[in-house]
């Protein structure tokens, strides 16, 4: 069993839709939870960063962490074509990051 | 602020040849990471440096991969000899310290194809 599981997609949604991206994990030691966005032929860029359980909002993006269920989510409101990318969840105890496989998202006009 | 620089951007080699990648981190960042990202997978950490010392190289295939970070700034990653399964994007990242794992900034990567 992988430490971090993420549905690879692809996920295709119309512009303006609400997108939900999810990851599950098995390692109880994980305390930091992150979402990265990776455009084609680019390196990952940090979108959201949360510590422990709870919600965090930043513009159209909301990150949720439920440590009791070992489940994290990223919600994108009013999705735009520019949101088309691969979204990677990542998590760690202090130190090394463990990434999910990434979900490819396509937002269509 | 300049980002993480990597070169070359693309490299095609035959199996059993050697190859080297270069990374220049963000100025002042003490921690440098090399990741391997195989197509359709998330990045996997190969090696982490704190200044010019190795913090974690547990997933580095040491029989063929080597890395160094001289003077605690630039770093090179070498593969010798390359295998077909080494085809991947090699990402370099840097951060101010190692205690805030989310604050890693990635370079654009080097796409390696081994034929």
pLDDT tens track for A92-109? 876 678 999 999 999 999
**Cross-chain CB nearest to B106 (options A6, A44, A92):** A44
Which segments in chain B show pLDDT lower than 70? Answer: 1, 98-102
Cβ of B101 within 8 Å of Cβ of A96? The answer is yes
- B81 cis-preceded (ω within 30 degrees of 0): yes
**How far, in Å, are B28, B112, B115 from residue B87 at the CA level?**
31, 5, 9
Distance from CA of B61 to the nearest CA of A (A): 17
Task: Say if residue A52's pLDDT is above 90.
Answer: no
Read off φ and ψ for residue B91, nearest 5 degrees. Answer: -105, 135
Give the chain B residue nearest A48 (alpha carbons).
B102
- The answer, for B56 touching chain A at a CB cutoff of 8 Å, is yes
pLDDT, one tens digit per residue, over A10-51 is 999 999 999 999 999 999 989 899 999 999 989 999 999 888
Q: Three-state DSSP class for B71?
A: helix
Distance from CA of A59 to the nearest CA of B (A): 19
pLDDT band at A85 (very low <50, low <70, confident <90, very high): very high
Report whether B29 contacts B96 (CB < 8 A): yes
What's the confidence (pLDDT) of residue A8? 80
What's the confidence (pLDDT) of residue B99? 62
- The answer, for B25 touching chain A at a CB cutoff of 8 Å, is no
Dihedral sign for Cα atoms in the order B110, B39, B87, B46: positive
What's the confidence (pLDDT) of residue B1? 62
Average pLDDT value over all residues in chain A: 92
Q: Which residues of B79-98 are buried (b: 16+ CB within 10 A; e: fewer)?
A: beebeeebbbbbbbbbbeeb
B59: Cβ–Cβ under 8 A, 6 or more apart, which residues? B44, B45, B46
Q: Considering only CA atoms, which of B11, B51, B57, B53 is closest in space to residue B34?
A: B57
What's the confidence (pLDDT) of residue B102? 62
What's the confidence (pLDDT) of residue B69? 95
Task: Say if residue A9's pLDDT is above 90.
Answer: no
The answer for B107, left when phi > 0, alpha when psi is -120 to 50, beta otherwise, is beta
What's the confidence (pLDDT) of residue A93? 79
* Residue A12 in tokens: 């295709």
């Amino acid at each position: 069993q992988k430490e971090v599981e993420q549905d690879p997609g692809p996920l295709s949604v119309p512009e303006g839709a609400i997108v939900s991206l999810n990851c599950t994990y098995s390692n109880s030691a994980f305390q930091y939870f992150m979402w990265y966005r990776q455009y084609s032929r680019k390196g990952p860029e940090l979108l959201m960063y949360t510590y422990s359980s709870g919600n965090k909002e930043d513009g159209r993006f909301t990150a949720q962490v439920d440590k009791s269920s070992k489940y994290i989510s990223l919600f994108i409101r009013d999705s735009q074509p520019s949101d088309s990318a691969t979204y990677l969840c990542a998590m760690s105890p202090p130190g090394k990051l463990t990434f999910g496989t990434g979900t490819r998202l396509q937002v269509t006009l | 602020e300049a980002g993480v620089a990597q070169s070359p951007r693309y490299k095609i080699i035959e199996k059993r040849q050697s190859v080297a990648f270069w990374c220049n981190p963000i100025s002042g960042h003490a921690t440098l990471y090399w990741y391997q990202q195989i197509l359709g997978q998330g990045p996997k950490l190969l090696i982490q440096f704190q200044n010019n010392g190795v913090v974690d190289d547990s997933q580095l295939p040491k029989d063929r991969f080597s890395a160094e970070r001289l003077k605690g700034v630039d770093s090179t990653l070498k593969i010798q000899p390359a295998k077909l399964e080494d085809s991947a994007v090699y990402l370099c990242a840097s951060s101010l310290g190692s205690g805030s794992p989310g604050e890693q900034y990635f370079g654009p990567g080097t796409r390696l194809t081994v034929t």
